[in-house]
Structure 1
Amino acid sequence: MSYPGYPPNNQSNPTLRPANPFNPQQDAEILRKAMKGFGTDEKAIISVLAHRVNAQRQEIALQFKTMYGKDLISDLKSELSGKFEDLVVALMTPTYDYLAKELRYAMEGIGTNEETVIEIICTASNSEIVNIKSAYQKLFGKNLEKDLQSETSGNFRRLLVSLCQGRRAETFSVDVASAQTDAQNLMKAGELQLGTDESTFNMILSSRSHAQLQQVFLEYHRIAGRDFEDVLKNEFSGDIEKGLRAIVQCVRNKGSFFAKRLHESMAGFGTNDRSLIRIVSTRCEIDMVDIKNSYMSMYGKALEADISSETFMDDTSGDYKKCLTALVVG
């Protein structure tokens, strides 16, 4: 059986690939044995879950319920604790359901975690947007676009609404003349006038293909002699600046964008485990090799080394680190 993974494309560079051979019945038996009786065999749990792609884990969960009449996630939660439990639950949740839940969490309570929203929405492909919106509706009975509108405002809200349409061009061909026109229009909307015509930036950055945008940035630099990201810093501020710059960074090198997010999650006092778990558990099936290469280039250290050297306060057994490292190393 083939496993398209998350997402299906021929440009991916994951550390985690489908296990082959794969026997969901055998894996279910291993997990049952690991949780049966006194104590838990965390090593056995990691050996299975950190070496199967999400689609395979869903098959294991179905097989587990068929064989034992029990919910695998519920059993795992009853046996595990702390950040290791959080990571395992993330691994066991269907990917788009998981990302929908992360968006919901980012918007719950007082204030919104805009960085999480930017990370998920501004980096997603059209098909990912469609699947996340569908999962959000299924899980919460609510419209993701409307919830984002109610939690944000101004130009940032308009950018998110545009991206939520999932209508970005996804061709690999480049129209140089069109890129030159876009670059000139962006200059007129920003540097060449008093104030900023945000709608022009929104329209071009949310609708042009990544290949086309790369050419737009090249043409802008050729015409104006300035890097486009620096232009955004001058013309915008706050969440809209972060959102637009996230798009530019992903167009140029998505691995670098996520490498920076991972570094920020571990920098300073304490660790942002939620971000760390989200990025590692999802990107390991997409482009973790690129992210690791970017991390080494940007910070002079291996990503897995920084994960290992982090002080995880409630990870006395080291299982959380071992599982994260297994996903990163592959």
Structure 2
Amino acid sequence: MVNSKLSPTVVPVANHSPSADGDALRDAMKGFGTNEEVIIEILTARSNAQRQDIIQYFLSEFGRDLIQDLKSELGGKFEDLIVALMFPNVSYLCKELKRAMNGIGTKESVLIEILCSKTNDEIKEIVTTYEDMYERPLVEHVCSETSGHFGRLLTLILIGARDESGNVDSALAKEQAAKLYEAGESKLGTDEDVFNRILAHASFEQLRLVFDEYKQLSGNTIEQAIKHELSGELAEAMQAIVECIQSPVEYFATRLYGAMKGMGTDDSTLIRIIVSRSEIDLNDIKVEFERKYNRTLLSAIRSETSGDYKKALCALIGDV
């Protein structure tokens, strides 16, 4: 949401030569065997725009689709990570949204992570790109895969209902806090529509005031109220909105920790966050991860991954 300190781990390389990179990648994949080290060295150290230039050079010079070549030469989670790097960020997130809704069941946590952490402008770009890619409106697809108050919340987000004027109104914040209190803690049952309306419409700046007023009125934080009054995907989505408004880097650090906690690793979440945040604020997420969990993100990834997949992830987050 609002982040005054944007500190990426991947930045454009100076004096970039798409031809030199393209030639090196072609050599790394020609003949018998593949030089994975070259692939990692080049693709994790270029910005997404520079990777797009390499793709164009590869096509014009060799008549080959670089992404298809990478898919044919690589495998497993290493392939998933490298291929994810090759799509423009918004296209990659659209692919992740589509994958979350494909087949039996819907991965609601993926919808929440992507949609509840974005501004109106970012949502608008995702909506436009999704329809261009899949010839289906994203809001229609999401509506078909979700229901109830949770579905309505995502719909409000997708239609860009949030006020992003930057204006704040202290008197209105008191009124909104009172409405949230009356819709939840002060009554039996919960009026979810009130929570949806305020958290999906008010600006981030306004909601910070609302949350402060709520604590003054109730004695509980808005997070505590959501935990007590809501449940399931709606509660998870509301918590994501609150966390992203207060600290996006903490939200993503928590998501990364959750992806590596317990038995097995949620590699798709690990890849998605590291790839999509690498040119935004991944360095800040690293710092927050260490502050919150008393271990570095690098050490966590090294213990949970292996091989070229681990090398590429570590290169993206800054293996220093």
Shared fold, TM over 0.5: yes
* 1:240 corresponds to 2:229: no
Please, which moves more after superposition, 170-179 or 148-157?
170-179
Percent identical pairs in the alignment equals 47
2:310 corresponds to which residue?
321
Give the superposition deviation at 1:10.
Answer: 6.9
Q: Secondary structure at the match of 2:247?
A: helix
Aligned residues: 318
Runs of 4+ residues over 6 Å off in structure 1: none
Please, which moves more after superposition, 162-171 or 28-37?
162-171
* Residue pair 2:6, 2:284 contacting (<8 A) in 1 also: no
> Which aligned pairs between 1:182-261 and structure 2 lie closer than 5 A?
182-261=176-255
> Which aligned pairs between 1:96-107 and structure 2 lie closer than 5 A?
96-107=90-101
Matched AA of 1:113 = K
Give the superposition deviation at 1:96.
Answer: 1.3
> Which aligned pairs between 1:97-136 and structure 2 lie closer than 5 A?
97-136=91-130
Give the superposition deviation at 1:230.
Answer: 0.4
* Residue pair 2:116, 2:241 contacting (<8 A) in 1 also: yes
* Residue pair 1:123, 1:247 contacting (<8 A) in 2 also: yes
Please, which moves more after superposition, 17-26 or 250-259?
17-26
Q: Give distance in 2, aligned partners of 1:185 and 1:153.
A: 24
Give the superposition deviation at 1:13.
Answer: 2.0
1:3 corresponds to which residue?
none
Q: Give distance in 2, aligned partners of 1:175 and 1:14.
A: 33
Gaps of 5+ in 2: none
Q: Give distance in 2, aligned partners of 1:165 and 1:31.
A: 41
* Residue pair 1:296, 1:302 contacting (<8 A) in 2 also: yes
1:181 corresponds to which residue?
175
1:4 corresponds to which residue?
none
Matched AA of 1:50 = T
Matched AA of 1:79 = E
Gaps of 5+ in 1: 1-6
Q: Secondary structure at the match of 1:194?
A: coil
1:50 corresponds to which residue?
44
Deviations, residues 115-173 of structure 1 (Å, cap 9, x unaligned): 11100111111122112112211221111111111111110000000000123223445
* 1:27 corresponds to 2:21: yes
1:90 corresponds to which residue?
84
Q: Give distance in 2, aligned partners of 1:203 and 1:11.
A: 29
* Residue pair 1:175, 1:212 contacting (<8 A) in 2 also: yes
Matched AA of 1:48 = I
2:293 corresponds to which residue?
299
Give the superposition deviation at 1:243.
Answer: 0.5
Q: Give distance in 1, aligned partners of 2:4 and 2:67.
A: 31
Give the superposition deviation at 1:175.
Answer: 2.3
- Counterpart of 1:79 (choices 65, 73, 79) is 73
Matched AA of 2:237 = G
- Counterpart of 2:275 (choices 272, 281, 284) is 281
2:58 corresponds to which residue?
64
- How high is the TM-score relative to the length of structure 1? 0.92
Deviations, residues 241-278 of structure 1 (Å, cap 9, x unaligned): 11111100111111111111111111111111111111
* Residue pair 2:21, 2:54 contacting (<8 A) in 1 also: yes
Q: Give distance in 1, aligned partners of 2:5 and 2:292.
A: 22
Matched AA of 1:201 = F
* Residue pair 2:9, 2:283 contacting (<8 A) in 1 also: yes
Matched AA of 1:40 = T
Q: Give distance in 2, aligned partners of 1:116 and 1:224.
A: 32
Matched AA of 2:250 = S
Give the superposition deviation at 1:289.
Answer: 1.7
2:135 corresponds to which residue?
141
Q: Give distance in 2, aligned partners of 1:13 and 1:172.
A: 23
2:264 corresponds to which residue?
270
Deviations, residues 66-85 of structure 1 (Å, cap 9, x unaligned): 11110000111111111111
* Residue pair 2:199, 2:207 contacting (<8 A) in 1 also: yes
Coordinate RMSD, CA, aligned: 1.6
Deviations, residues 184-232 of structure 1 (Å, cap 9, x unaligned): 1111222223322211111111122222211111111012111110001
